[in-house]
Amino acid sequence: MTQHQKYQIIRKLEGLEVRQYLPCVIADVEIEGDRDSAPNRGFTSLFQYISSNKIAMTSPVLQEELPNHNWRVSFVMPAGLTVEELPLPANSLVTLRNSELHTAAAIKFSGKTTQATLPGHEATLRELLDLNGLVATGPVRVARFDPPWKPPFARHNEMIIPVNS
């Protein structure tokens, strides 16, 4: 079974979970392109890193928009590993970083994660933040849990945003 990023649910609200994400190590690739093609290209570099170093695949695959039409695509490394324990990436596009303990709000949804569908999910998340008095403290990220060959109606995706604790 694929290991998932570790978090604890702090509160369940209508359609929204407030979570405390535990510290972890994340492998990132920053890539230029549109929302539909960049994640696939970033995934390839990250997958090459973990497979060539025999690191277990985890989920979700994270995607976050950066300035100037750039994207950060990320894998969470298996729990318990440190940056110092992980092999240095041979590909200069792949970087390793520590993700600190943080609070975030999340909504779950199925279907495709495309330029056409994601803005609506983000709008829903931001509306739920406002309704529940939560303030976003960072950029939104998309979490994809399933492979692309899984039928869209059966996919598990999430829209996550850091919030005030």
Q: Give, rounded to a whole angstrom, the gap between the first and last alpha carbons of the chain.
A: 31
Residue 125, pLDDT > 90, answer yes
Whether 20 contacts 8, CB under 8 Å: yes
Contacts of 120 (CB under 8 A, 6+ apart): none
Q: What is the pLDDT of residue 68?
A: 81
pLDDT at 63 over 80: yes
Q: What is the pLDDT of residue 88?
A: 95
- Place 29 in a pLDDT band, splitting at 50, 70 and 90: very high
The CATH classification of domain 3-162, taken from the options 3.30.390.30, 3.90.79.10, 3.20.20.140, 3.20.80.10:
3.20.80.10
Q: What is the pLDDT, as a whole number, of residue 6?
A: 93
Question: What number of residues does the chain have?
Answer: 165
* Residue 45: φ, ψ to 5°: -65, -40
**Residues 107 and 140: beta-carbon distance below 8 Å:** no
Which has more pLDDT, 28 or 65?
Answer: 28
Question: What value does the mean pLDDT take over residues 1-12?
Answer: 89
Q: Give the number of other CB atoms < 10 A from CB of residue 68.
A: 6
**Confidence class for position 39, pLDDT limits 50, 70, 90:** confident
Q: Could you say which DSSP state residue 150 is in?
A: S
Comparing CA positions, the residue from 57, 60, 58, 17 lying closest to residue 39 is 60
